[in-house]
Amino acid sequence: MKKSLLFILGGGVIVAALIWASLFYVNPVTTALWPWLSGNGVKTPPKVEPTITSSVSPVNTSSPTEAPVEPNTTGLPLSLPLGFSIATFAKDLSNARVLAFDARGNLWVSQTKKGIISLLEIEDGKVIRQNPVLRNLNNPHGLDFDPFEPFTLYFAEEDRISKIPVYSDAAPVKIADLPSGGGHFTRTLGFGPDDRLYVSIGSSCNVCNEGDERRAKIFSMNPDGSDFREFARGLRNAVFFAWHPITDELWATENGRDLLGDDIPPDEINIIREGSNYGWPNCYGKNIHDTAFDKNTYIRNPCMEPFEIPSAIDVQAHSAPLGLAFIPDSWPEEYRDDLLVAYHGSWNRSVPTGYKVVRMKLDREGNFLGEEDFITGWLRENNEVLGRPVDLIFHEGALYISDDKAGVIYRVDSPK
């Protein structure tokens, strides 16, 4: 009886030992825990990493304060390249056209058809107040601040250029008279790298031989209006211009003539050089002779270099390119020094075109490499027009766009 009991007890001990060994030498989890349970090695249990299967989504470890940036909060179906975002910066600005930031960081806007220039006061990146400051003007358009007197605003009406010290009770002072009347009444102005003030004056007609020598040209002058002289001619309607950040050359958008069909002549982007003739009314695009208008017989080709300068870039006819801006270094490297152009959109093409912002790819010297859409969506598939971009201006790394149809200003931010 005793022998049987000892045998049973011995067998139990052997079975218990086998179970113990299977737990701590076979099971990987208990094996990992053995040094801690036995009192040897580490005093705290080691971390046992769980296996995550492909069907389980990783946990978002980003800070809860870093909310993702919405790419489009305008309420319009606008599309931009990945990583860029667009928002409505200001609204209730009927016929918003030209934009200019002052030394305080506030924004001035010409509302041409309303005859006013408005001030948008900005605080912490948001508009806190907007009010018309100058009223009863004659088609005000161009705006710029004197680089040496940063609180002196220059503005161009259809028939004059004036200046005024902002944030004061002073009255505007006229510095130059301009021709008025006719089809193109917007006057754009800007200070160049040579500190002279430039102004573009469009033609009085679709296509004609002008009677006023000041039409279809760009002029420059001293800041007080003196030494008013021709810079370039043959420019039917160079509505906006800007200077290349590296070459300091003047680039201008040019709207071609109408009534030659849907696809000719092209609209243009020109590099404007002093003393040059860009061909209008007899030539367009890459020095194409407009025989529909000019019936004269010539000894030489009437559209040839160096007498007439061809376009730098041809644009789809009736796109109506307006504002243009060179991209600053604060944007992604692949975009730097490229050109953005606002296509205001056609008014008499059988199939509408334009209504977008386009990126012109350039090398550092300004040579044209190609183009691609940057912002689209203002023109719907059913040809409904939701907006018409006008001016483009960079300020503190952001792009601002005026829209004279929607009456708003957009802000575009680049990827961080």
Yes or no: say if 283 and 265 are a contact pair by the CB < 8 Å rule: no
Q: Which residues pair with 177 in a beta bridge?
A: 160
Report CA-CA distances (Å) from 406 to 48, 95, 336, 409. Answer: 60, 8, 29, 9
pLDDT score recorded for residue 68: 60
Cα–Cα distance measured from residue 93 to residue 393, given in angstroms and rounded to the nearest whole number: 17
Cα–Cα distance measured from residue 166 to residue 152, given in angstroms and rounded to the nearest whole number: 6
pLDDT score recorded for residue 183: 86
The pLDDT of residue 388 is above 60: yes
Q: Which residues pair with 187 in a beta bridge?
A: 201
Higher local confidence (pLDDT), 113 or 67: 113
Mean pLDDT, residues 215-236 taken together: 98
pLDDT score recorded for residue 31: 35
pLDDT score recorded for residue 309: 98
Q: How does the average pLDDT of the chain come out, rounded?
A: 87
Q: How confident is the model at residue 395 (pLDDT cuts 50, 70, 90)?
A: very high
pLDDT score recorded for residue 70: 83
- Residue 396 zone, left/alpha/beta (φ > 0; ψ -120 to 50; rest): left
133-137, long-range: CB < 8 A, 24+ apart: 133/108, 133/166, 134/164, 134/172
pLDDT score recorded for residue 100: 98
Yes or no: say if 400 and 385 are a contact pair by the CB < 8 Å rule: no
Joined together, the tokens standing for residue 384 give 């409904």
Which pairing describes strands 229-233 and 276-277: parallel, antiparallel, or unpaired? parallel
Higher local confidence (pLDDT), 131 or 2: 131
Cα–Cα distance measured from residue 290 to residue 361, given in angstroms and rounded to the nearest whole number: 29
- ∠ Cα 261 264 268 (to 5°): 140
pLDDT score recorded for residue 347: 87
Mean pLDDT, residues 308-334 taken together: 97
Cα–Cα distance measured from residue 372 to residue 368, given in angstroms and rounded to the nearest whole number: 12
pLDDT score recorded for residue 22: 41
The pLDDT of residue 7 is above 90: no
pLDDT digits over 39-89, tens only? 333 333 333 333 222 322 333 333 344 456 689 999 999 999 999 999 999
pLDDT digits over 259-292, tens only? 999 999 999 999 999 999 999 999 999 999 999 9
Q: How confident is the model at residue 14 (pLDDT cuts 50, 70, 90)?
A: very low
Mean pLDDT, residues 241-269 taken together: 96
CA atoms within 13 A on the CB side of 264: 11
Of the ranges 138-142, 255-259, 348-352, the best mean pLDDT one:
138-142
Chain centroid, CA 292 distance in Å: 36
The pLDDT of residue 24 is above 70: no
Q: Quickly count: other Cβ atoms within 10 Å of residue 249's Cβ.
A: 15
Mean pLDDT, residues 306-312 taken together: 97
Yes or no: say if 268 and 291 are a contact pair by the CB < 8 Å rule: no
Chain centroid, CA 239 distance in Å: 17
pLDDT score recorded for residue 67: 52
Number of H helices, E strands in the chain: 2, 27
Joined together, the tokens standing for residue 71 give 């790419």
Q: How confident is the model at residue 348 (pLDDT cuts 50, 70, 90)?
A: confident
Q: How confident is the model at residue 19 (pLDDT cuts 50, 70, 90)?
A: very low
The pLDDT of residue 34 is above 50: no
Which pairing describes strands 126-134 and 288-289: parallel, antiparallel, or unpaired? unpaired
